[in-house]
Amino acid sequence: MTRPDDLQRMYDRRFGPEARRAKAEVWKVIVEDYLQRWIRPEDRVLDVGCGMGEFLNHVRCARRAGIDLNPSMQANLAPGIEFHAGDVRDLSFLADGSQDVVFTSNLLEHLPSKADVEKLLREAARVLRSGGHLVALGPNLRFLPGVYWDYWDHLVPITDRSLVEVLETIGFETVDEIPRFLPYTTRSWLPKSPALLRLYLRVPIAWRFLGGQFLVRAKKS
C-alpha cells in the first residue's frame, strides 16, 4: 500500500491549487444536488478515504467523521469533522452499529488486493447500524479497460457488478446500482460550472455517454 508521504506527492502532482479548487466546487454540487438525498439531518456519517473533505465538507448531518492514510488531509477539513489518520481497513475506533451511512469514493481500487477490499467492506458492515447504508463511487473497469491503469496506484480491478456481488455475499442488499454516474475523473469531461453540473445530474441519459464511474448504494440487512 502506498506510503502517506508518497500519497501526498502523488496527489500534488495530479492536482495543483486551481484543480483542487475546481474539484471542491464540483463536489459541493454533487453532494448538495444528489448525494444529500440519502442522508438525514440526524445521521452519523463516516467517509472512508476522506481525502481533502470533498464530500464531508459539504454534507449536512449530525456527525461527520473521516479516516485517511494521509494525516495531512486533516488540515483541509471543516471545523467539527472528526478525523482519524490510519489504515482505512481498520475502523476499530468506531463501535459496532454506530454509523448510519458509510461513504467512500475512489478508494477501493487503491487497496492492495481484493481481500483488502473485502476486509474494508466487512468493517463498514460492522460499524453500520441495521438498515444503514454504504454508498460507494469509483472508476468502473467495464468502461475504462485501458486508462484505468494509467494511475500507478490503481491496483484492484473493480466493476459495479463485482462490487455488488461481494456486498451481497457479505450481507448487504443492493438499493441502487448505477454503472455510469460521473465521468472518470474531474480532469475528464465534466461541467466545471455549477449550473451546468446541476443540469448534468438531472439528465441521467447523459450519464450513459459521459459516465465512467459507478455509484452503488447498499443497505445492511
Given this model, what pLDDT does residue 19 score? 62
What integer is the mean pLDDT of 99-106? 98
DSSP the chain: ---HHHHHHHHHHH--HHHHHHHHHHHHHHHHHTGGGG--TT-EEEEET-TT-TTTTT--SSEEEEEES-GGGGGGSPTT-EEEES-TT--TTS-TT-EEEEEEES-GGGSSSHHHHHHHHHHHHHHEEEEEEEEEEEE-TTT-TTGGGGSTT--S---HHHHHHHHHHTTEEEEEEESS-S-SSTTSS---SHHHHHHHHT-HHHHHHH--EEEEEEEE-
Given this model, what pLDDT does residue 21 score? 73
pLDDT tens figures, 1-34: 566 666 556 555 555 556 667 788 899 999 999 9
pTM: 0.89
Structural domains in the chain, sorted by start: 4-220 (3.40.50.150)
